[in-house]
Amino acid sequence: MLKLTRRILAIVFWLGITLLFLDFTGTVQPFLGWMAKMQFLPSVMAMNLITIAIVVIATLIMGRLYCSIVCPLGVMQDFFAWIGRWKVFRKNKKAKFANKYSYSEEKKWLRLTVLVLFIIMLLAGFNAGMVLLAPYSAYGRIVASLLQPIYIGINNLLAQWSEAHDNFLFYQVEPHENPTLLIIVAAVTAIVLFVLAFMHGRTYCNTICPVGTTLGYLAKFSWLKMQVQEDKCIKCGLCEKNCKAACIKVEKGQPVKFDYTRCVACGDCQAVCGKSALHLVPTKKRSKASSHADAASDLSRRSFLAVTGTAVAAATLKAQEKTTDGGLATIEDKVIPERKTPLTPPGSLSAANLQQHCTACQLCIANCPNGVLRPSTNMEHFLQPEMQYDKGYCRPECTRCADVCPAGAIRPISKEEKTAIQIGHAVWVKENCLPIADEQRCGSCARHCPAQAIQMVPIDTSIKQNPDDQQWYDGEGNKLDWRAVNDLLMIPVVNNEKCIGCGKCEYLCPARPFSAIYVEGHEKHREI
Amino acid sequence: MKDLNRRDFLKIAGAATATAAIASCGGSTNGELGDLDPAGHHTGAIPTDKMTYRTNPNTGDKVSILGYGMMRLPNKPASPTSDPSAPTPEEIDQEQVNKLVKFALDHGVNYFDTSPAYCQGHSEESTGIALKASGYDRSKFYIATKLSNFAPQQQTYEEGVKMFQNSLKYLQTDYIDYLLLHAVGGGGLENLHQRFLDNGVLDYLMEQREKGVIRNLGFSFHGDVEVFDYLLANHDKYHWDFVQIQMNYVDWRLANETNPSNVDDLYGELEKRGIPAVIMEPLLGGRLSKMPDHIVATLKQQRPEDSVASWAFRYVGSKPNVLTALSGMTYMEHLEDNLRTYSPLTPLNEQEQNWLETEIADLYVSYPIIPCNDCKYCMPCPFGLDIPAIFVHYNKCVNKGNVPENQQAANYQQARRAFLVGYDRSVPKLRQANHCIGCNRCSPHCPQNIRIPQELQRIDDFVEKLKQNTL
C-alpha cells in the first residue's frame, strides 16, 4: 500500500516537474508551478515558510517522504535503481526479488562534512560548489540541458508537419544555446547518479545530498516509523537485501535495526516481506522539531569583479548600391557587450540577491520565450541566469521567469510592476552609431523604446527644438523647413531615469556586430 | 445560387485556400492557380492552336496575348558547390524553366519578357538557355528585355552600352525584338535625364534600332505621369514602338489607391496615338488571384468553372490596343490556367468590365491590403529585412481574415496565433519589420509607390499590439 501510493505520487510529481522544465510555451506553469515551489532547498532560499513548514512537518510525521515523492532527483534515482533491479541484470534470475542491496554503515562524517561545507558555501557565496550539490537544481540542469533540446527538436519536427499542413498547432522554436560547461556538469551528474543508483540505490541521497542529510536527521524524530514486528520476523533478510537505502540491518538473534536518517519511507521493505512483519507505526519517543533550515544570510558578498573594456569596434555598414533585384543581405551576428554589472531579470531585486538565492536549476532559462536568459559561465554566478540581448529582449508582456522561480531569486511581479522596474540603463556607444559612423539617419532605438526614455537630438549642437511649437531652429533662429528636418542627422540621448533596461534598443540597433546602444546592469534594481 | 452545387463550392473553397510554399525567384506567387476538378486535375486538355494573337502595327509581329514574364522564375535549393555563406542558398531551377518555356511555346506563347535586374541578375541568362533548349527557331518567338540602369554607377554611356551588349550575350541572340527603358517615371524627369537622355544611352538605343539590332523600342512606365507625358510629347523624335504600362481592373478607375497615375488616361493616350500597349501586373503579382474569400465567391459564382485569375486576364485582354499581357508564371499550374484563359480569349462584355472596374475593385480596395506585388525591386534591403515576405504575409492574413481589428473580434485568439506563428514562419526574426530603421532606400525602387518604411512600422505596431494583447 505504502509503496504503491508512494509510486503513484512520485510519478505524478516527477512528470509534473519534468514537464515544467520542458514546456517552453508557458502553458503548464499555472497548473504545475506549485510543484517547483514545493522544493525544499529553493524554498529555504526563498524563505518560503509554507513549504518549509509542510516539508518539516511531513518529515516529522512520516519520515523522508519528501525524498521519495517530491524530489525529482530522488525519483529519478529510484527509476535508475529500478532498472538496476531488472531480471536481465540479476545474477539469480529465478529469485522473486532482486536482493541486490545490503546494509552498510552510515557514512556519518561524510554526510555531516558535506552538509557543513554546503552551508558554508551557501553563506560565503561560493555558488559553483553550492549549486553542484543542490539536488533539485541538479535535476533541473539535466532536464534543461539534456532533455529540453530533444523536446524542442520533437516540437520542431511537429512544427514542420504543422507548417506543411497549414495549421498553427505547433511552431518552431530555437533551442536554448546551452554552454558546454552546463552540458558537461549536467551529463556528469546524470552519469554518476545513474551508476550509483543502478548499483547501490540511494547512495547519493544518503551520503552527499544536503537536503537528504537535513531531512534524515529530522526523520530520526518522526512519529511514524517503519518497524519490524519481531514475533513475525523470521530474519530472512529480504528487507535488507531489497532496501535501496541500505539502512536495514538484519542479524540472526538480534532485533532488526533501521537507520532512520537514511530511510526514505519508500515501503519497498514492507512490500517484499513475506510475513507481513513490517509496519509503519508510531514511536513512543516524542521529537523536538529542530530545523536545520538555513536561513538566507545577509552576509555581504565579494564585490563583483569590474570587467571593463567595452567593445567598441565601429560597425561599418556600407550601403552598397544595388544593381539587381531580389536577394537578402547577410546579417552579421551580434557580439554580446561586456557588462560591468550583470543584468538580472526584473523581480530579482539585484544581481546580488539573485546570486544569493538562485540554485541554478535552469527553470527560468528553460522557460524564457525570448532567448534572453542564459546560464552564466562565470564562476561567481555559476550557471545562474543572466540576461543577454543579442537574440531578443525582455518583452513587456512576459513575466515567466518571475512566475516560475521557486527560490525567491526572481520574485513574482505583475506586468504593470515590470514596466516600472529599472534593471539597468542604456549606454550609447558613439563610434558605432549609424548617424556618426555612416551618416545614416536612424532613430531605431528611440522609436522602439517602450519607456520613451530615448530622444533623438541633432548632432549639430546649434540646432535646437522649441518646446512650444515643437519646431527646429538653427543657430540664427531660423526655422528649418521639413526637408531640412528630414535630413537632420540625429543621435539618441538616454534619459537614465526613465530607462528600465529592457534591451529593446540594444536588440534592434542596426549596428552590427556591436550595437551602438547597450544596457548596463544596475547593482540594485529600482522602481521608477 | 441554385446552380452553385457542392462541387463548385468545393472549388471556391479550394481556390481560396490554395497555397503553395515553394520559393520562386520573384517570390512565391501561388495565386494564379487554375481551377481544379475534385481529383485535383485540370479539366480538359489545353488547346495548342487556339491562342489569341495581336498584331503589332509597326512590324506586323503576331504576338500572343499571353506574354511570359521572366521575373518570378522558380527556384530550388542551391547546389552545394555554390557559395555556402550566401544568405539565400537558392538558385533558379533551370530544368523547370526549360520545361515551362517549352510548354508555353508549344501552346502558342511567343513573347518573353526579361531584364538584367530580374532574379538577382540571372533571369536573362536563364531565359536564353530555356529558349535555346526549346528547339524553336529564333524567328518563332520575341524577346523583350530592358535597360535597367537603376544604380548611379550604371548611368553612364559606357555602362549602358555594356548592359545592352550583355543582354544580347546572355540571351544568346544578335537582336532584341522589344527593348524597354526600364521603369521610367520613378524619380521624375530628372531621373529620366540622368539615366537615358543626358548620357546618350537613348541615342545609342535608337541607333541600334536603325541597325535592326533592336526591332521595337519602348519604355515601361511607373510613377510620375510627367515623364510619360514628356516621352509621348516627343513621340515624333523617339518613335516609340510600344509602351509597357501597369493595367488591371483595380487600377483602372481607382488608380489613386495603388498607383498614382490614372491607367485609363495612360491607355487612352496610347490608343489615341496607335502605340500598342504591353501590360504588366494584370494580376497585381498574384494579388488578384489570392483574393479575400468573399470576392472569390462573388467571381466564382458568375463563372464557377473559371479561375479567379482568369477574370483579370480577360479584363486586360479585352482592351483592343493591348499587344500582350505579361504574367510571371512560376508554376506550371499558373501557365496552364492562363493558357486556358487565352486559348482563345473570351472578351468581357461591357457589363462585365464595368462590374470588375467598380464593384469588385471597390470591394477589393476596402480590404487593408498592401499593394505589394512581390516584385522584389526593393531588395536587398541593406539592413537585411525581407520586405516583400513581410507584406505577402500581411496580405495573406488580411485575405484569410486573420488581421483582427481588436480583441473583441470573434476569432481574435485564433487570428492572433495564425498571424504571429505565421509571421515567424514566413520571415526569420532578424528580417522582420521591427528591424526597419527607416532609411527609405527601398521606397524609390517600388513601382507601386508603397511607402515601405511607414507600412513596415504600421505592421510592427500591429505585431506589438498582438503580442502584448493590447489591440
Please report the pLDDT score of residue A377 as a whole number: 86
Q: Is A271 in contact with A96 (CB distance < 8 Å)?
A: no
Which DSSP string corresponds to B76-99? EEPPTTS-TT-SS-EEE-HHHHHH
Please tell me whether residues B153 and B272 are part of one structural domain.
yes
Please tell me whether residues B289 and B410 are part of one structural domain.
no
Please tell me whether residues B354 and B395 are part of one structural domain.
no
Please report the pLDDT score of residue B176 as a whole number: 96
Q: Are strands B176-184 and B142-147 parallel, antiparallel or unpaired?
A: parallel
Nearest Cα of chain B lies from the Cα of A169 at a distance, in angstroms, of 9
A464: CB partners within 8 A, 6+ apart: A472, A473
Mutation site, B83, B194, B439, B469, interface A, largest A CB count within 10 A: B439
Nearest Cα of chain A lies from the Cα of B231 at a distance, in angstroms, of 25
Please report the pLDDT score of residue B25 as a whole number: 55
For the segment A309-361, what is each residue's pLDDT rounded down to a tens digit?
A: 222 233 333 444 677 888 888 888 899 999 988 999 999 999 888 988 899 99
Nearest Cα of chain B lies from the Cα of A166 at a distance, in angstroms, of 9
pLDDT of A277 > 60? The answer is: yes
Please tell me whether residues B163 and B297 are part of one structural domain.
yes
Please tell me whether residues B360 and B392 are part of one structural domain.
no
Q: Is B124 in contact with B114 (CB distance < 8 Å)?
A: yes
Please report the pLDDT score of residue A429 as a whole number: 93
Query: Comparing C-alpha atoms, which of A434, A302, A393, A275 is closest to residue A356?
Result: A302
Please report the pLDDT score of residue A143 as a whole number: 94
The confidence band for B261, taking pLDDT boundaries of 50, 70 and 90, is: low
Please report the pLDDT score of residue B198 as a whole number: 95
Asked if A319 and B376 come within 8 Å (Cβ–Cβ), the reply is no
- Quote the number of domains for chain B: 2
In a domain, B1, yes or no: no
The confidence band for B33, taking pLDDT boundaries of 50, 70 and 90, is: very low
For the segment A56-90, what is each residue's pLDDT rounded down to a tens digit?
A: 999 999 999 999 999 999 999 999 999 998 888 88
pLDDT of A20 > 50? The answer is: yes
The confidence band for B210, taking pLDDT boundaries of 50, 70 and 90, is: very high
Nearest Cα of chain A lies from the Cα of B376 at a distance, in angstroms, of 5
Spell out which residues of chain B touch residue A319, defining contact as CB-CB under 8 Å.
Answer: 382, 439, 441
Which residue, of B312, B330, B365, is where some domain finishes?
B365
Higher pLDDT among residues A299 and B41, named by residue: B41
Residue-level length of chain A = 528
Q: What is the DSSP letter of B117?
A: T
In a domain, B370, yes or no: no
Please report the pLDDT score of residue B335 as a whole number: 95
For the segment B265-299, what is each residue's pLDDT rounded down to a tens digit?
A: 889 899 999 999 999 999 988 889 988 888 999 99
Q: What is the mean pLDDT of residues B158-171?
A: 96
Query: Comparing C-alpha atoms, which of B302, B323, B312, B308 is closest to residue B357?
Result: B312
Kindly identify which residue of chain B lies nearest to residue A506, measuring between CA atoms: B435
The confidence band for B167, taking pLDDT boundaries of 50, 70 and 90, is: very high
Please report the pLDDT score of residue B415 as a whole number: 92
Please tell me whether residues B463 and B318 are part of one structural domain.
no
Please tell me whether residues B227 and B263 are part of one structural domain.
yes
Asked if A397 and B437 come within 8 Å (Cβ–Cβ), the reply is no
pLDDT of B318 > 90? The answer is: yes
Nearest Cα of chain B lies from the Cα of A77 at a distance, in angstroms, of 39
ipTM comes to 0.76
Q: Is A392 in contact with A506 (CB distance < 8 Å)?
A: no
Axis-axis angle for helices B123-134, B94-106 (nearest 10): 50
Handedness of CA A123, A129, A133, A135 (dihedral sign): positive
Q: Which of B25, B117, B437 sits opposite A442 (nearest CB)?
A: B437
In a domain, B52, yes or no: yes
3-state secondary structure of A323: coil
Neighbours of B273 (CB within 10 A): 12
In a domain, B156, yes or no: yes
Residue A454: beta bridge partners?
A494
Radius of gyration, CA atoms only, chain A: 29
The confidence band for A91, taking pLDDT boundaries of 50, 70 and 90, is: confident
Please tell me whether residues B391 and B355 are part of one structural domain.
no
- How is residue B168 written as a grid cell? 544580347
Q: What is the mean pLDDT of residues B83-95?
A: 71
Asked if B26 and A326 come within 8 Å (Cβ–Cβ), the reply is yes
Kindly identify which residue of chain A lies nearest to residue B381, measuring between CA atoms: A329
Kindly identify which residue of chain A lies nearest to residue B470, measuring between CA atoms: A397
Please tell me whether residues B447 and B411 are part of one structural domain.
yes
Q: Are strands A257-258 and A248-249 parallel, antiparallel or unpaired?
A: antiparallel
B84: CB partners within 8 A, 6+ apart: none
Mean pLDDT of chain A: 87
Percent of chain B at pLDDT > 90 equals 64
Classify residue A378 as left (phi > 0), alpha (psi -120 to 50) or beta.
beta
Q: Which of B85, B151, B376 sits opposite A321 (nearest CB)?
A: B151
Handedness of CA B434, B435, B439, B442 (dihedral sign): negative
Query: Comparing C-alpha atoms, which of B123, B174, B172, B130 is closest to residue B146?
Result: B123
The confidence band for A478, taking pLDDT boundaries of 50, 70 and 90, is: confident
pLDDT of A251 > 60? The answer is: yes
pLDDT of A176 > 90? The answer is: no
pLDDT of A460 > 60? The answer is: yes
Asked if A325 and B434 come within 8 Å (Cβ–Cβ), the reply is no
Spell out which residues of chain A touch residue B422, defining contact as CB-CB under 8 Å.
Answer: 168
Asked if B421 and A168 come within 8 Å (Cβ–Cβ), the reply is yes
Q: How far apart are CA A165 and CA B421, in angstroms?
A: 14
Q: Which residues of A touch B (CB under 8 A)?
A: 163, 166, 168, 171-172, 317, 319-331, 392, 395-397, 434, 440-444, 447-448, 508, 510
The confidence band for A525, taking pLDDT boundaries of 50, 70 and 90, is: very high
In a domain, B437, yes or no: yes
Please tell me whether residues B194 and B262 are part of one structural domain.
yes
- pTM confidence score: 0.72
In a domain, B377, yes or no: no
Mutation site, B437, B464, B468, B471, interface A, largest A CB count within 10 A: B437
pLDDT of A6 > 90? The answer is: yes
In a domain, B269, yes or no: yes
| Burial track B107-122 (b if 16+ CB lie within 10 A, e otherwise) | bbbbbbbbbbbbbbbb
Q: How far apart are CA A460 and CA A467, in angstroms?
A: 18
Asked if B117 and A172 come within 8 Å (Cβ–Cβ), the reply is no
Asked if A325 and B85 come within 8 Å (Cβ–Cβ), the reply is no
The confidence band for A287, taking pLDDT boundaries of 50, 70 and 90, is: very low
Mutation site, A162, A163, A324, interface B, largest B CB count within 10 A: A324
- List the alpha helices (DSSP H) in B274-386: 293-302, 308-317, 332-342, 350-355, 361-365
Q: Which of A321, A326, A443 sits opposite B438 (nearest CB)?
A: A443
Q: Which domain holds residue B448?
A: 387-468
Which DSSP string corresponds to A274-312? TT--EEEEE-S----------PPP-PPPPPPP-------
The confidence band for A128, taking pLDDT boundaries of 50, 70 and 90, is: confident
The confidence band for A297, taking pLDDT boundaries of 50, 70 and 90, is: very low
Q: Is B353 in contact with B61 (CB distance < 8 Å)?
A: no
Asked if A325 and B438 come within 8 Å (Cβ–Cβ), the reply is no
Classify residue A252 as left (phi > 0), alpha (psi -120 to 50) or beta.
beta
Q: How far apart are CA A75 and CA A464, in angstroms?
A: 68
Q: Is B108 in contact with B65 (CB distance < 8 Å)?
A: no
Please report the pLDDT score of residue B82 as a whole number: 53
For the segment A30-61, what is each residue's pLDDT rounded down to a tens digit?
A: 899 899 999 999 998 888 899 999 999 999 99
In a domain, B380, yes or no: no
Percent of chain B at pLDDT > 70 equals 86
Please tell me whether residues B207 and B92 are part of one structural domain.
yes
- How is residue B73 written as a grid cell? 522564375
Asked if A331 and B382 come within 8 Å (Cβ–Cβ), the reply is no
CA A382 to chain centre: 11
Please tell me whether residues B80 and B141 are part of one structural domain.
yes
Residue B342: beta bridge partners?
B345
Query: Comparing C-alpha atoms, which of B147, B153, B150, B181 is closest to residue B167?
Result: B147
CATH of the domain at B255: 3.20.20.100
Nearest Cα of chain A lies from the Cα of B317 at a distance, in angstroms, of 28
Neighbours of A416 (CB within 10 A): 9
